[in-house]
Structure 1
Amino acid sequence: MSSRLPRITDATRRARLGRSHLLSPAHRARTAEEVAHALVALHATDPATVYLSVCARLAEPSAQAVDRALYEDVTLVKLLSMRRTLFAVTTELAPYVDASTARAVAERERRILLRHLTEHGEGGVHWDEERLAETERAALAALAARGEATTAELNKDVPALRESIVTSPDKPYAARQSVGSRVLRQLASDGHIRRARPRGSWTSSMFAWAAVAPLPEVPVRRAKAEVARRWLASFGPGTEADLKWWTGWSLGDVRTALADAGAVPVELTAGEGRALPEDLDRRDDSAPWAALLPGLDPTTMGWRRRDWYLDPALVPALFDRAGNAGPTVWWNGRVVGGWALRADGEVAWRLLADAGREAEAAVAAEAERLAGWLDGQRVTPRYRTPLERALAE
């Protein structure tokens, strides 16, 4: 690598997280929308993650603030997008995420759904594209009549939704799935419906569906450039491999998007990276900060290569076997431990690295802050990790 490239050290990258990811108390946000904007996209596969990720970064954490953004003002929307993962993004960014990633995901999901219906449908009923389209039209009409409805409620209105398919029928892990759940997920992927307020607490996975207006169309190349630019602004500097992993794009698409975004090469410890020109001389304050971040938090899951903020020796305790991050404890840009919520509402945490007394005091204060706004709400991560299980007992 040429020594003439600007060099950005791991220490500098860690120092930037406090400001760019709103983790330093001096840089916390006022609204859920500000948090989503700063992080580009919030992991939403586990419903609780959006709330926990946002509130970790709010000056005044409140589940009601996230409720308002998701279900009242609808200024945050959920899209099945990067890496076929459900994310919550701002309505301003949603058209770009849709065009750059979600449309391709939806097309792939439709092919898979149609194959499963034609090959594994039960009851001797023949499925093809025409019957699937008819069923989708009927589901949308039923939803329009109800306003909002759960999958179970729509199943009552549309007989075809009550049918089932068996995936991997000849395997030990064969599973029966509702046609309704798959069809409604497809309609959401295609941008026709959205997840409305859960039936239950904000940790519930039982939600209603609601119709949604189509997103504005954006040219794909322009959309990818904007997503790449936003990722660099929030997560940069990073490598091509980081952005490829985060988006799920091809390497060719990544390189084109980075060039279109105006990224410039920089030298990182991990090799050559990319950054926005305006970030080359950026300075961030070094005020110490601690954070308790939830499983699948965007900061933990933002890069493919993580050893500049995560000791590989900690991975077995803090990640599950599929690579999903559990709850983590951070100190000044490094992962230093994990946490869990016990049945009695206590936030239990453990440092896995010697971070010093100042860190212990700061982490204890963050644990108290988290317990305060949770106010007894029980939260169990969808993807449980060894340390989280041990601490939750």
Structure 2
Amino acid sequence: MSRSLPLITTAERRNRLGRRHRLAPSVRAVTVTEAAEAVVALHATDAATVFLSARARLAEGGPAVIERALYEEVGLVRLLSMRNTLFAVSTELAPYVDSSTARAIAAKERRTLLKHLAEDGQGLDADWLAAAEAAALEALDVHGPCTGSQLSAAVPALRQKITLGRGKRNEAQTGVATRVIRLLAADGRIRRDRPRGSWTSSQFRWVHTQSWPAVPADEARAEIARRWLRAYGPATEADLKWWTGWTLTDARRALAAVGPDQVRLEDGSTALVSPGDTGPEPVPEPWAALLPGLDPSAMGWSDRGFHLDPAHRAALFDYAGNVGPTVWWNGAVIGGWAQRADGEVVWRLLGSPGRAAEEAVAAEARRLAEWVGPARVTPRFRTPLERELTS
């Protein structure tokens, strides 16, 4: 039966990646929002990843252009969402991400904090938490953007400490400020603003904002699935389940609402594409890219076999499955890179892709080093090859 399905080859999948992820020079994005939407969302756990992922997809513009999109135009916002991970998404997509994923995370965060408050036995409860949240929002209205420590200084309730695991071997005392701030952010009532320090800093200031408009959860998940399938198809329901962190039932319902077409892959397996998206992708010009750790092009599938040689995984991923900085050539991962303490961008190819690839990678490394300038980038999740290159 699968033999009658349209065939999408590995080369075709790589062509799609190069063009749809805006990595080939001729299709690079004009705006930061376009760059983010090309891959649905940019990983934001590591502050530098947002900037370096956008840089790789932009036709022009330095860090200031991305800062303006995040903090002045607010065309992108950071949300705790897919896989309980921080992502930067366009403000157009944010309500769908919020309803499809972030709402459930926020509810779980609230239940967990209330449970810890009750177990601590100091009489702190939902009313206390509501008052602390209201006081934090009022402080932001009065003082403007604040860091977590500045908020704690302004709001006495945030200086409260609770004991986790009271009476147990792992008993530990912790402050509530970080947890309350995280909960306000998960609820969409505050957002991350310009950090203290450079664009590589994760010490964000916070601002009071309005919660996102409500979208029915099924509608929101269908919209996320539609965009994801366009960016990452051919892909499987297992890939979507992994990428979103949804249940298998929710992933299947979202895909059913999209109505994808089925295609055949070179290994004989089947996968899904957007409705009608079975034709060939134009072949992009040869391209090289140096992508940061956690970049969406490496993290968009649970099965990455079409662009990553399994033999290279140990060098490029950490023990938890986080990808480090990668070197790409025409839609395949061919090595890794790092920035040394003196600012030099160094790289190593895993295999022999040929002289054209080596020259293109060297040129891209020079472009990256010039773009980063005096900043220093150390991935939050360090991998064996990245550590070796910087040792």
TM-score normalised according to structure 2 size: 0.96
Change (3 A) 1:31 1:291: same
Query: Is 1:2 paired with 2:2?
Result: yes
Listed one character per residue, the Cα deviations across residues 128-162 of structure 1 (whole Å, up to 9, x for unaligned) are: 21211111111111111112111111111222211
C-alpha deviation, 1:167, in angstroms: 4.7
Query: Is 1:223 paired with 2:220?
Result: yes
Listed one character per residue, the Cα deviations across residues 235-260 of structure 1 (whole Å, up to 9, x for unaligned) are: 11100000000011111111111111
| Matches of 2:143 and 2:203, distance apart in 1 | 17
C-alpha deviation, 1:166, in angstroms: 4.7
User: Match for 1:366 among 337, 343, 364?
Assistant: 364
Question: What's the counterpart of residue 285 of structure 1?
Answer: 283
C-alpha deviation, 1:216, in angstroms: 1.6
| Matches of 1:148 and 1:254, distance apart in 2 | 37
Change (3 A) 1:330 1:176: farther
| Matches of 1:192 and 1:371, distance apart in 2 | 37
| Native 8 Å contact 1:30 1:58 kept in 2 | yes
SS of the residue 2:379 aligns to: coil
Q: Which ranges of structure 2 fall in alignment gaps of 5 or more residues?
A: none
Question: What's the counterpart of residue 293 of structure 2?
Answer: 295
Give 1:235's aligned amino acid.
Y
| Native 8 Å contact 2:106 2:183 kept in 1 | yes
Give 1:110's aligned amino acid.
R
Q: Which ranges of structure 1 fall in alignment gaps of 5 or more residues?
A: none
C-alpha deviation, 1:3, in angstroms: 1.7
| Matches of 1:337 and 1:62, distance apart in 2 | 25
Matches within 5 A, 1:1-393: 2-119=2-119, 121=120, 125-167=122-164, 170=168, 176-268=173-265, 269=267, 271-393=269-391
C-alpha deviation, 1:168, in angstroms: 5.9
SS of the residue 2:8 aligns to: coil
Deviates more, 1:130-139 or 1:17-26: 130-139
| Matches of 1:257 and 1:137, distance apart in 2 | 36
Change (3 A) 1:216 1:275: same
| Matches of 2:264 and 2:125, distance apart in 1 | 53
SS of the residue 1:330 aligns to: strand
Listed one character per residue, the Cα deviations across residues 51-93 of structure 1 (whole Å, up to 9, x for unaligned) are: 0000011111410111001000101011100000000000111
| Native 8 Å contact 1:162 1:179 kept in 2 | yes
C-alpha deviation, 1:35, in angstroms: 0.3
SS of the residue 1:384 aligns to: coil
| Native 8 Å contact 2:162 2:174 kept in 1 | yes
| Matches of 1:290 and 1:327, distance apart in 2 | 13
Q: Percent identity?
A: 59
| Matches of 1:82 and 1:106, distance apart in 2 | 12
| Matches of 2:291 and 2:268, distance apart in 1 | 25
| Matches of 1:65 and 1:197, distance apart in 2 | 13
| Matches of 1:372 and 1:138, distance apart in 2 | 44
Change (3 A) 1:150 1:286: closer
Change (3 A) 1:58 1:135: same
SS of the residue 2:297 aligns to: coil
C-alpha deviation, 1:361, in angstroms: 0.3
| Matches of 1:359 and 1:12, distance apart in 2 | 19
| Matches of 1:270 and 1:209, distance apart in 2 | 50
Measured on the aligned residues, the alpha-carbon RMSD in Å equals 1.5
Give 1:102's aligned amino acid.
A
C-alpha deviation, 1:270, in angstroms: 6.9
Aligned length in residues: 389
Give 1:246's aligned amino acid.
W
Give 1:9's aligned amino acid.
T
Listed one character per residue, the Cα deviations across residues 306-358 of structure 1 (whole Å, up to 9, x for unaligned) are: 11111111111111111111000011111111000011111000001211111
| Matches of 2:258 and 2:93, distance apart in 1 | 15
Give 1:205's aligned amino acid.
S
| Native 8 Å contact 2:12 2:280 kept in 1 | no
| Matches of 1:138 and 1:270, distance apart in 2 | 59
SS of the residue 2:7 aligns to: coil
SS of the residue 1:299 aligns to: helix
Deviates more, 1:69-78 or 1:124-133: 124-133
Give 2:5's aligned amino acid.
L
| Native 8 Å contact 1:344 1:376 kept in 2 | no
